[in-house]
Amino acid sequence: MLDAFTSSHAFALALALLLAWALDTLFGEPRDAFHPVAWLGKLLWPLGCRLRVMQPTAAFWGGTVVWLVLAIGLGAIAWWLQRRVLGLSLWWSVPVLALLLKPMLAWRMLRDEVLAVEDALAEGVEPARERLSRLVSRDLSGLSEEALRETAIETLAENLNDSVVAPLFWFAVAGLPGAVVYRFANTADAMWGYHGVWEYAGKWAARADDVLSWLPARITALSLYPAWRSAHWRSLRRQAGRTP
């Protein structure tokens, strides 16, 4: 009885994963008003602004406690939702789980933004720089057409882990709670994980994202290997040694 129960739920989770991927590929991102990750951003920003002006020790522990409370709370909500949904018939549980997982993925958006940079290059370097600035925070003013194209491809490879592979990996490992906690960790790192005024408030968020992304990042790199020549693979290994 337990084996059948476990197998049926695993089957539902697998189908939900595939359906969520299909939904993301077909429809892309929902509007911010309906996007849980956008809601997270609106919650994290004011909290972070309060934390970053504290003294270093208070900022570090404050950032750590806030991160843990939110991660545990969101994970618990996701666990409760998943448990309730898996109690439904397969015809209901799969689409509902897929809809809950879909906001954790952003492949369609990432792909479209990178392709938009390529289209903008047909109009000139400046439009392409402006478009690429939506994806990266680095200075693009001195980049040539070739460098802009290379940066766009690098950004696609880098964000493939955050937007696709890692959420799916953690969903496969821990179900909806895994995907939700990972997306929270990645969003917190994107908003708090900087040097300067964020150094202490965002330190835990940055390290937590590094830990949760470590194995998925290696899986992402391996999945890209067939498309790369050996020289690119050696470059990847050098870069991996510089980053978590």
Q: What is the pTM of this model?
A: 0.85
Radius of gyration of the chain (CA): 20
Q: What pLDDT tens digit does each residue of the chain (244 aa) get?
A: 334 457 788 999 999 999 999 999 999 888 888 999 999 999 999 999 999 999 999 999 999 999 999 999 999 999 999 999 999 999 999 999 999 999 999 999 888 888 888 888 888 888 888 888 877 777 777 777 788 888 887 788 778 999 999 999 999 999 999 999 999 999 999 999 999 999 999 999 999 999 999 999 999 888 776 655 544 545 445 544 544 5
Q: 75-84: which pairs have CB atoms within 8 A and are 24 or more residues apart? A: 75/177, 75/180, 75/181, 76/177, 77/180, 78/175, 78/176, 78/177, 78/179, 78/180, 78/181, 79/175, 79/176, 79/177, 81/176, 82/175, 82/176, 82/177
- Exposed, middle or buried, 63 (CB in 10 Å: 0-12/13-18/19+)? buried
145 near 156, Cβ under 8 Å? no
